[in-house]
Amino acid sequence: MNARDPDPQAGPAPAAASPSPPAARRGPRGPADLFTAFTVMAMQGFGGVLAVVQRELVERRGWLSDAEFIEEWAVAQVLPGPNVCNLALMYGWRQFGWRGASAALAGLLCLPLLLLVAVASLLRQGADLAAVQGVLRGMGAVA
């Protein structure tokens, strides 16, 4: 056996290292994952939520690239209605159809709605208290 002949007991030669494909972006595992992500966004944002949504979808979860996020956000701004609701519906629909759109929008709206109802019921129960009346007067002055 000469130096050019491979050793039959050595096994197959290692495959040439091929460049690995770029890391695939992961997406939501299901509608429940969308619900959770959009609930987290809803509880962090008040008013302008662009930075919160971008951080959650692009940086933290890696579901969208910067370019994809900018494109989605641009379309969401053109559609009538709240931008973040439009984004939730579009992204959810693209991921899981109507179930994804429903889950994303529900995640965005359910917990804030429940908190609002809870606060309203507490205020109603204490409407006769002087402290609650003062709080309501103060909120009225700033509104």
CA 140 to centroid of chain Cα atoms: 33
pLDDT at position 23 is 54
pLDDT at position 6 is 55
Contacts of 109 (CB under 8 A, 6+ apart): 42, 85
Contacts of 45 (CB under 8 A, 6+ apart): 52, 53, 84
pLDDT values of the chain reduced to their tens digit, one per residue, 143 residues: 555 555 556 555 554 444 444 455 688 999 999 999 999 999 997 777 888 999 999 999 999 999 999 999 999 999 999 999 999 999 999 999 999 999 999 999 999 999 999 988 988 888 888 888 888 889 888 87
Contacts of 36 (CB under 8 A, 6+ apart): 107
Residue position matching structure tokens 């809870």: 118
